[in-house]
Chains A and B, each alone.
Chain A
């Protein structure tokens, strides 16, 4: 069975600084998707970034980028130029490509942004 692990329950970053959130996963599949979702206090989940395992290039979305290390089964999220609005819970998630949309989420990392 696939698992997703986020070992940092909470992180803090100074406004305008850079922070990296860690995620590791375990799977026996060779092709899959990885995601980072943001959950602000409103509790609604927002897709931040998606990575396809067969692509070696790391995904980037504006200030958000990932460091995808397939052999190490590591998928970290880097937030550059942190803003107060980035404060939220961040979830790492996994989905197989085998036609099912069953998502497996980590337990989340709470990010605090300090002014």
Chain B
């Protein structure tokens, strides 16, 4: 069965370190998305990609970057982790049509000390 996976599931890091969260999907979807989930804010879009070599900024992109070198993977990098980036991060992918649902990974809980 097709799936979307994230690693690691839990990560503790220190302020100022670079952190990369992995996202891998086997749906063969061109569209991929990264969200963060915080109490009182729901899910907010960080970055998204419509295909290889395409990346776009979302609502809360400051301090984050992504790269898309193949269809399956969209890693999210925190260039210099800050305590405000402590959150749960979700990756999602979807088909090409607006009516297509987004399929979500299980999430990565990141703590920045």
Bound pair (A, B): no
Give the A-binding residues of B (Cβ under 8 A).
none
